[in-house]
Amino acid sequence: MIQIRLSHPFPHPQPSLFPPPQQQSKIKRSRQLLFPPKQDEPQDPPQPVAAKSLMLKPPKDLFTVYSILGIIKCEKIRQYTFFNICGIICNECKRQEKRRNQMKRIDFERIFDNIRRDQTMVHCITNYVTINDVANMILAIGASPIMADDWMEVREITAMCDSLVINMGTLKQNTVRSMLLAGKEANQRGHLVVFDPVGVGASRFRKETAAKLLKQIHFNVIRGNISEIKTLYEGSDDGYGVDAKKDDAVTEDNLEYVIQMAKNMAKKTKAVIVITGKTDLVTDGQQIYLIDNGVLDMSRITGTGCMLDGVIAGFIGANPDQILEAVTTAVSAMGICGEYAKEKAEGTGTLKVHLMDAMSNMNAEWMERSSQIESKC
């Protein structure tokens, strides 16, 4: 007799990366907070987080399952196993149906039409490491980039563009002045602004600049990896570079904390907060989207985050009336491009080329087919 054991679908809980609340408050007290909570400000209670969906693709034909189970000789065990599998498949079908329904709320068609109808112009004040890739990625979505960072001209450039990216990657004193001038000009004209606090935990200069920019400019979107967003929120000063620290990785155990952090930050800054990584998170403080597109290799080439800043700016510049949805679409699109590129690439060099190829062919139909977006309130 063959025994079939159905393994438990959910992984064992992992130890939390974040200390419990009492310890956290001790750590926070010793830090200078960029967004200190007001005494009387109600903090959102933690929301329950749904368990990660079981990665099981329901087979189209249950008869196939039954006939495979034919190898089990005992009728009772065969039936028992079959009904268990049916149960799992049903739950997965329900989950997939729910996901599809939730996704219907984002009108990908309209978002892509808007980008490709008008030539959206994006002004970037960005770093010299990835500037060329950012410009090409903006072209790939059908928008038009202009990279300009001298304070003598940034106000004029911003004035004629639909959106602006401020990326702190290779910060210089002169560009800080340009960032402030451009950001204020964009705010006055109602143009949309994306902020990427690259490596904000790496130096005092970066941290002070981020605080100054956040004080003087209203950003519509703030995007960073988990370490960058945590530094902005908690004011932590444990040095790290432009990549996320391994210890900060978002897991099922700390997801609730990260969601709360992002929501609080969105409310305080009135910006859509985007935290990228294995699972991307997008929130305006109320609605939250968790995006499961993308591949690990995207973090092995520099600038996928910077490229995403440009893509987000293009999407919101063309869709100012649906910023949250446009940002979510941009983030998911980037992940889908990564998945495609991973299939085609022979290494990290060609990964970048395929990433760009994919973005230039991205459309609503591909989004419908491949996006993994879960929405919560």
Ligand X SMILES: Nc1ncnc2c1ncn2[C@@H]1O[C@H](COP(=O)(O)OP(=O)(O)OP(=O)(O)O)[C@@H](O)[C@H]1O
Known binding-site positions for ATP: 223, 276
**Smaller CB distance to ligand X: residue 120 or 227?**
227
Residues in region 332-351 near ligand X by CB under 6 A: 334-335
Distance CA 245, CA 364 (A): 34
CB of 41 to ligand X, least distance (A): 29
Choose the contact partner of 298 out of ligand TZE, ligand X, none; CB within 5 to 8 A by kind. Answer: ligand X
Shorter beta-carbon distance to ligand X: residue 287 or 299: 299
Contacts of 273 by beta carbon, 8 Å cutoff, 6+ apart: 221, 222, 223, 229, 262, 263, 265, 266, 281, 282, 283, 284
Q: Compute the least distance from the CB of residue 310 to ligand TZE, in Å.
A: 12
In this structure, the chain runs to a length of: 377
- Alpha helices (runs of H) in 149-249, residue ranges in sequence order: 154-160, 173-189, 204-216, 226-234
The answer to whether residue 303 forms part of the interface with ligand X (CB under 6 A) is yes
Residue 374: φ, ψ to 5°: -115, 130
- Smallest gap from Cβ 58 to ligand X, in A, equals 24
Tokens 């799992």 map to which residue? 88
Place of tokens 């997008």: 282
- Of 54-62, 107-115, 117-125, 272-280, the window that binds ligand X (rule: CB under 6 A) is 272-280
CB of 242 to ligand X, least distance (A): 5
Closest CA relative to residue 91, chosen from 2, 5, 3, 6:
6
Q: In the set 278, 357, 360, 364, which binds ligand X (CB under 6 A)?
A: 278
Least distance to ligand X, CB of residue 277, Å: 5
107: tokens are: 């009108």
Is 304 among the residues that bind ligand X (CB under 6 A)?
yes
Q: Reduced to 3 states, what is the DSSP secondary structure of residue 274?
A: strand
**With binding defined as CB under 6 A, does residue 306 bind ligand X?**
yes
Chain positions contacting ligand TZE, by CB under 6 A: 127, 129-130, 169-170, 198, 242, 302-303, 306
Tell whether residue 298 is a contact of ligand X (CB under 6 A): yes
Q: Considering only residues 180, 244, 261, 324, which one is a binding residue for ligand X as defined by CB under 6 A?
A: 244
* Binding-site residues from annotation: 147, 223, 276, 303
- The 3-class secondary structure across 278-293, one letter per residue, is CCEEEECCCCEEEECC
In angstroms, the Cα distances linking 13 to 1, 106, 292 are 34, 32, 20
> Which parts of this chain interact with ligand X (CB under 6 A)?
198, 224-225, 242-244, 276-278, 280, 294-296, 298-299, 302-306, 308, 334-335
